[in-house]
Structure formats: C-alpha cells, structure tokens
Structure 1
Amino acid sequence: MSAQANAGKALEIQVDGSSYQRIPIRTRVVMPGDDLEAFITDYAPAVVQPGDILFVTEKIVAITQGRSYLVEEIQPRKLAFFLSKYVTRTPYGIGLGMPETMEMALRECGTPRILFAAAVSAVTKAFGRKGDFYRIAGDKARAIDGPTSGTIPPYNKAVVLGPSKPREVARHLQTLLASGVEVAVVDINDLGGNILGSTLDAAGEKRLVQILGDNPLGQGHQSTPLGVVRPA
C-alpha cells in the first residue's frame, strides 16, 4: 500500500536540500490502561524500515502512562482561575487558557515557577516579545493539552499532561523495532513543535523539528498518532 498524507498535508518536504517523506500511521484510539509497547508493536513494525525515524506523539505516551484526566475531575484553585485569564488562546489549542489546564501546570511545574514565568511574560509582552512564559515554565507546561472540539473522544473532555521520561521511552521503543530505526517522542502542533525525547543526536532533533514543522499528523480526528520520516 502506497504512503498517503493526511488531508491538507503534504507527504513530502524539503529541508536543507534533502527530501523527506512523512508517512502517517493510522491506528485505533489509545485509551488509558493501554500498553504502549503492545500498541507500538501492533502498528509500527509493518511500516518502518532501517534508516527511518518513527515519531510518536507525546499524547499517546502520556495517556498510556495514566497522565490524562477528565476535566470534571480537576478542581482548579483560585490562582489557576486568575492566571488562565491572561493566557493567549490560539485556534490550534487552548493551552493553559482554562483553569483546569493551568491547575495542572501549577501541579506539574510548581507554583513558584509558574508565577515567575507569568511575571516575566507580563513584562516582556508589554515590549512586544512573546513566548517567554513557556520558555521559563518549560516543556512540562508546554506539553499540557486541553480539550478541544476537534479532538477524538474521550479526549475532547480531558486534560493530558506531557509524558514522563520521554527520552527513556524513546530508547525503549527503539529496542522493539528493526535495527537502524530511530525513535522520537514529539510535541507537534500547527504552531511548531518540540522533541521531548529521542534516540537522535542534537543535530538530528533539530532537523526533525524542521521536517515536522507543518504538523503532518494534524490536530483533529485523523487518528494518526504515529508517523515515519523517511528519506525520499
């Protein structure tokens, strides 16, 4: 079966003069209690080849680690209500712009760090600089996903945290695949992305962010939480 891109996304991209395919892997919906190792071995080996990079969305890693919570289960403190009012919302996700996601950021990152990030951001925004909040709060805050109408149920009513120990996860998943396959746990959306953990070196991670910069897996109901990067 030939590789197919998700709707509205290109299968192939050029980065620094080289061409790469980004092949989505369609799967069932990952649920809390699923075993990540079994999930990967169900879907990835039939697609990946030596020389490929298997990229895994941080969301399914976190879900299999028990790091997803229904919104109704989260009781935000007053500080979470206050801080969430000042978060810029985008069409691509609510981020920490609701009390429940901000509450989880306070728990994950610690109140002092979030307060410091908010204070610095308030000052630098006044001078037209953006992004300082997440730069200071860090990957744990950036990786928190809130519910959106375009998300596959039941996660359209859930908050999903970033994964625990993503670098160790990537290294373990690599042992399940053919020799010569690299693995990356990624946090990619339509505004850009980050590599949370991988078996690549720093240069490889930087190149992978460029390759995945247009979010080839999409943000909605595509049901493609895995993908393969392959030299074209």
Structure 2
Amino acid sequence: MAEANDGKALTVELDGTSYSRIPIRTRVVMPGDDLDAFIREYATNVVEPGDLFFVTEKIVAITQGRSYPLEEIHPRRLALFLSKYVTRTPYGIGLGMPETMEMALRECGTPRILVAAAVSAITKAFGRKGDFYRIAGDKARAIDGPTGGTIPPYNRAVVLGPDRPREVAQHVKALLGGIAEVAVVDINDLGGNILGSTLDKAGDKRLLAILKDNPLGQGHQSTPLGIVREGQNPIAAR
C-alpha cells in the first residue's frame, strides 16, 4: 500500500471531499535521464483513470539539462551584492546565494531583477513582503539552490525552473494515454505554484489547496512524482 512521507498525511479533505495524495518513490533523477522513460518506469503501472498525476518541476528541469554544478557558475559582482539582501528560509535558499542570483539574472534579465529588487527594498520598509518574486516572476521563483536536505548531487547544484511546463504537462498526459490530468508543480513547505497543467484555472487552484502541506516532502524523501485520487483509495506504489 502507498505510504505517506514522514510528517505528512496520506489523505486530506477539501470542501467535503476526501483526496488521497500518493507519493511515488523513485531513484534519483540524473542529468541525461529521459523524462518519458522515467515516467513509464514509475508511473504508468500505478496511474488510474480519473487520477491527477503531478510531477515536481525539479525533475522536469533536470531532464531538460537545466541543472548547473556550483563550480560552473561564476557570479558577477551584482549577483554577490543582491544575494545579500534576500531572506533565506529553512526550506530553500531561493536567490539568497550568489550562484542562484546569478542564474536569476541570466534567466530573467538584469533589468527585471533590478526593478524587482528596487521595488522590494521600498515596500519592505512599509512591512510588505513578496514583491520581489511578484515582479521577477515564475522563472526566478522556480530556481532551486542547495540546502542541507538536498539529495546529492544537487546539494552542489543550482536547478532552474522547467522550460515550457504547460507543454510538458500536455505531453505527459498523452504519454499516460490521456487517462489522467497532469500538473508540473513547484511545492515547498512555505507554499507553491502550478507551473503548467492540463487543468483549468479552477482546477489549478483546487490542486494547490490539496497539496498545500507539501505531501512529497522537502528533502531526502525521493518522491518526485505523485497522484491525487478522489476518495481514500491508496494504491501500491514503488
């Protein structure tokens, strides 16, 4: 039977309906892995008609070649300066290190990051938070740096957000024979985003509510895939 990750519940109730959130344990995804082959290996035998299959943005990005070892990133002086003013949390370093800030400058463009930093500096003085990422956008928000709980080799790497996540979700749905909706998610213990899905806006909002406690976990769980199934009907999962 499926097992919840430590500290997480296997089921959750939302608007009077119970949902199972089933983590799928896998090996570590490595650069050069093929996403289609990986999903066939771990998901095709457990996804059922009517399920919602979700995949973490990190493994999508890794299979797209968007993971960079720290030693290959050479932060410019601006990245060193800006990273000092980013608030770090126990759940993710975000852009609070020079290497992740450097990649944000490359991904989003220097002007956008500078505008986001300037606005954030002003609004923080008035007690408002979150403006930096609202302006910098999803590409900046999705950048992952190493933390104490990051699985090697990504404890020494920066992983960007996935490219074309909505198209990836549509492709994976077809790969699964169209029997399940699919979402590429960026979820952590502080919140999350649906980066791309085959759902409508209401479906994305509902999925975020179902996953708000981050059932896939934050560190060494090695469960980058998951299934949401209506009702309390967990399955055997690898």
Fold in common (TM above 0.5): yes
Q: Deviations over 1:43-101 (max 9, x none)?
A: 11111111111100000000000000011110000000000000000010100000000
Deviation, 1:23, is: 0.1
CA distance in 1, matches of 2:135, 2:185: 19
What is the aligned partner in structure 2 of residue 51 from structure 1? 50
Given that residues 93 and 146 in structure 1 are in contact (C-alpha distance below 8 angstroms), is that contact kept between their aligned partners in structure 2?
yes
Q: Secondary structure at the residue paired with 2:148?
A: coil
Q: Deviations over 1:165-196 (max 9, x none)?
A: 00000000001114330000000000000000
TM-score (norm. length: structure 1): 0.98
CA distance in 2, matches of 1:19, 1:138: 33
What is the aligned partner in structure 2 of residue 11 from structure 1? 10
Matching of residue 157 in structure 1 with residue 162 in structure 2: no
Cα RMSD, aligned residues only: 0.7
CA distance in 1, matches of 2:131, 2:45: 42
Matching of residue 26 in structure 1 with residue 25 in structure 2: yes
* Residues 208-227 of structure 1 mapped to structure 2, 5 A cutoff: 208-227=207-226
Q: Secondary structure at the residue paired with 2:88?
A: coil
What is the aligned partner in structure 1 of residue 234 from structure 2? none
Runs of 4+ in 1 over 4 A off after TM superposition: none
Deviation, 1:148, is: 1.1
Q: Secondary structure at the residue paired with 1:51?
A: coil
Unaligned runs of at least 5 residues, structure 1 = none
CA distance in 2, matches of 1:19, 1:133: 36
CA distance in 1, matches of 2:195, 2:53: 14
Given that residues 49 and 178 in structure 1 are in contact (C-alpha distance below 8 angstroms), is that contact kept between their aligned partners in structure 2?
no
CA distance in 2, matches of 1:58, 1:22: 17
What is the aligned partner in structure 1 of residue 179 from structure 2? 180
Unaligned runs of at least 5 residues, structure 2 = 232-238
Deviation, 1:18, is: 1.3
TM-score (norm. length: structure 2): 0.96
What is the aligned partner in structure 2 of residue 96 from structure 1? 95
Given that residues 62 and 68 in structure 1 are in contact (C-alpha distance below 8 angstroms), is that contact kept between their aligned partners in structure 2?
yes
CA distance in 1, matches of 2:79, 2:112: 13
What is the aligned partner in structure 1 of residue 133 from structure 2? 134
CA distance in 1, matches of 2:191, 2:38: 26
Query: Identity over the aligned pairs, expressed in percent?
Result: 81
Aligned residues: 231
CA distance in 2, matches of 1:5, 1:13: 12
CA distance in 2, matches of 1:15, 1:192: 17
What is the aligned partner in structure 2 of residue 171 from structure 1? 170
